Amino acid sequence: MTDKVPSTTVSPEAALELLSPTEVSQLVNQTDAELFKIFRRCALAVLNTGNNNDNTNEIMEQFKDFDIRFIRQARGIKLQLSNAPSSAFVDGKMIRGIREQLFSVLRDVVYITNEIRNSERFKLSTQTGITDAVFHILRNANIVRKGDFNPLVVCWGGHSISRDEYDFTKEVGYQLGLRDMNIITGCGPGAMKGPMKGATIGHAKQHVPNRRYIGITEPGIIAAESPNPIVNELVIMPDIEKRLEAFVRLAHCVIVFPGGAGTAEEILYILGVLLHPSNKRIPFPLIFAASHDNRPYFDTINQFIGATLGPEAQSRFTVISGDCAEVARAVRKGADEVMTYRRKSKDAFYFNWKLNIPKDLQIPFDPTHESMTKLNLSKDQPIHDLASNLRRAFSGIVAGNVKEQGINQIKEKGPFELSGDPAIMSALDRLLRTFVDQNRMKIGDGTYTPCYRVAT
C-alpha cells in the first residue's frame, strides 16, 4: 500500500508566471478537459519522483484517487491536492524542488494549450512553424538564455541500466562539471540522473555560479520517467518529436550512454538529422560513451548502424570507452568548435537555428498497428529517410513498453508487427534481442514480454 497525503494545499513557487484572469478561470472551472488531464498526469509524475515503476498504466491505477483542484486567489491560484504520494513531502511540507517542478509543469501545460494547441500563432504543418513553437516554449520556460556561454551537454541513455553503467555516467558528469559545462537530460532515472549527480560535485568544486540541470520531457513519457530530484529546470514539450528537437537545438554536444529502445530512437533521430545533405558541414559533436566493460554495447550499436545506414552514418559519431576525462575533453573541444562556427556564421550560441531538421522528424508519429506495419524499412530510399523510419519503429516500441496508449493497444491487439528489407529486419531483430537479454527494455526483475514482432 503506497503512503499518500490525504489533503494539502500548495502555493506557486518560482517557476509559475502570473496568470491572466482567463487562464485562472480556465483552470478553476476546468473548461478544458484535455488541459486538466495532461496537467494531472504530469503533476503526478513530478510528485512521484523516485518511484521505480515504469509502467504508466500501473502508476495511474495505483494513484487513481489522486486529484487536483485549483483555488482562485489574488495572485492567481493555489493547488488543492488529494491523495498525493507522501514521498513528495517532509514533515507535512512539500519538498521545495518538487514544488518548483510542479508549477513548471503548470506553466508549460497552460502555455502549450493556449499559445500552441489552441491558437493559430504557429503553423505546425511547416518546418519553420514547428521550430518556432519549440523555441517559444523553451523561451517561455527561461531555458534559452542569451548571455550564458557555458556549453549545454545533452546526455542520452537508458532509464533501466546497471549500477556500474550508472556510476560511469556519474563520473562523466563530474568531469563535465569540472570543465564548466551544464547538463540536459530526459530528466528521469538511470543515465538521465547520473550525469547530473556527478556534475553537481564538479560544479561545487569549481564554484560554478550558474549550475544548470535541465530536464526535458513530454506528457506521454513523464509518468514512466518521473523527473529526478537534481533537475532544477524542468520543461514539458507537447510530444516526443518536439522534445527531441528541443534537445538538438539546445545542445552544443550530445553524449549517448548505453540504453534500450528509447536510446536507439534518440540515436536514429540525431543520425537522421546529421545525415541530411544540408547539415553535413555543420559541426555537431556526437559521442558514444561507455566503460571498458560495456564497450561491447556500442560495438553492437555500431554493427546495427553499419548494417542499416552504412559507413557514412558510422562516421558521424565517436566512441570513447573507459576514460571519463577523455569524454569530457572531447566534449569541451567539440563545444568550442561549435562556438567558433556559430560566431563565424552569426548563429545564436543558445539555439541552433541553422540545423535543418527534416519535416519527417518533426511531425508527430502516432504508433498504431497500422502505422507500424506501413513503415518503409527498406534500403530503397535516402539514408536520412531510412533513419527517420527506423526512429519511428523504435518510438512505437517505446510506446508499447511504457506509454499508456501504446500499452493499451498491445493488450487489445497484440504486438506491433515490423517488416521490411531482410537485412534490415535481421539487424533490427538482433539489436532488440540484445536489449531484452541485457534487461534494457524495462525496469524490473528481467521478465519482459515483447510488444513487437519482427518479420525476419
pLDDT in tens, 258-274: 999 999 999 999 999 99
pLDDT reading at 58 higher than 80: no
pLDDT computed for residue 225 by the predictor? 84
Average pLDDT over the chain reads 91
Q: Which of 51-65, 153-167, 409-423 has the lowest mean pLDDT?
A: 51-65
Domains and their CATH numbers in the chain: 4-116 (3.30.1850.10), 145-345 (3.40.50.450), 360-454 (no CATH)
Do residues 237 and 217 make contact, with C-beta atoms less than 8 angstroms apart?
yes
- Cα–Cα nearest to 394, from 411, 403, 165, 136: 403
**Residues facing residue 4 across a β-bridge:** 85
Neighbours of 52 (CB within 10 A): 10
Query: If pLDDT is split at 50, 70 and 90, which confidence band does 399 have?
Result: very high
Q: Which of 35-49, 159-173, 316-330 has the lowest mean pLDDT?
A: 35-49
pLDDT computed for residue 27 by the predictor? 80
pLDDT reading at 17 higher than 60: no
Residue type, 304: F
Cell of 380: 530503397
Q: Which of 5-14, 171-180, 192-201, 310-319 has the lowest mean pLDDT?
A: 5-14
Q: 153: helix, coil or strand?
A: strand
pLDDT computed for residue 1 by the predictor? 46
pLDDT reading at 378 higher than 70: yes
pLDDT reading at 123 higher than 60: yes
Do residues 8 and 93 make contact, with C-beta atoms less than 8 angstroms apart?
no
Higher pLDDT pick, 233 / 53: 233
Query: In Å, what is the CA distance from 119 to each residue of 17, 19, 152, 239?
Result: 19, 17, 31, 17
pLDDT computed for residue 375 by the predictor? 97
